[in-house]
A = this chain, B = another copy of it.
Amino acid sequence: MHKTAAGAQNGVIRIEEGRPAPSPPPGLTLAEGLRQQLEAAIAAGHLEPGSRLDEQEIALRYGVSRTPVREAFRLLAASQLVELRGRQGAVVRSIGPHVLLEMFQVMAELEGLCARLAARRVPPTWGATIEPIHQRLVALVDGGDADAFYDVNQEFHEAIYEAARNGFLADQTRRLRNQVAAYRRRVTRMPNRMSDTIREHEAILRAILAHDPEAAHRAMRDHVALLGDNLLDFLAAFE
């Protein structure tokens, strides 16, 4: 807001676009700031998969030139969140049921590995960390607030990544999780999904706290696989 009418490095007066705040660089670069905003917009579903991203439009909307926008696109392509078709623009990546199935298969394995490592490595005090999160999740089942449930669920899994003490694995798993986020959100709203999730989480917790790596692996693997199945059911209902 403070650099609104100012941004005149040349004589041209910049037309102030709508509301979305010209993205003041809070210390980091414009391209990086854009990347974060666009990533959030994609994960939240404000930008639908398959929709085309117009460089000029976004540049105008955020009050920057095309250059940082283009760089942000490349950055997003790195996370596989957008697809760059040479000379034909960028589109929000749209994942078909087939690829989604493949992704969940991989994610199940990675999250399973997290759980296995966690079971081997958690200190006795870890229960004090995870229990409050789990309880908050339980409390949200009846409320029916799917978005809140989704967020706390994320915290639960994040806590397991931490416990696995493998930063690279955590990054990979998080990245994958982010890629399917736009689709997952919808599943949370399915009939018994929330209560099922709680039950599955409890099995995972039991195994980890009992230091049983194989059981933890299996429980987590099944949990994610079930979620994938639900998602595919959901998608099938639409076609």
Seen from chain A, the residues whose Cβ lies within 8 Å of a Cβ on chain B are 28-29, 32, 67, 70-71, 74-75, 77-79, 86-87, 99, 102-103, 105-106, 109-110, 113, 166-169, 172
Contact = CB atoms under 8 A, between A and B. Distances in A.
Contacts of A113: 105-106, 109
Given A75-B77, A75-B78, A109-B109, A102 B167 contact: yes
Contact of A86 (B29, B102, B169): B29
Contacts of A67: 67
Nearest to A106: B169
A172 B28 CA distance: 29
A64 to B, nearest CB: 16
A100 B120 CA distance: 20
A169 B78 contact: no
A119 to B, nearest CB: 15
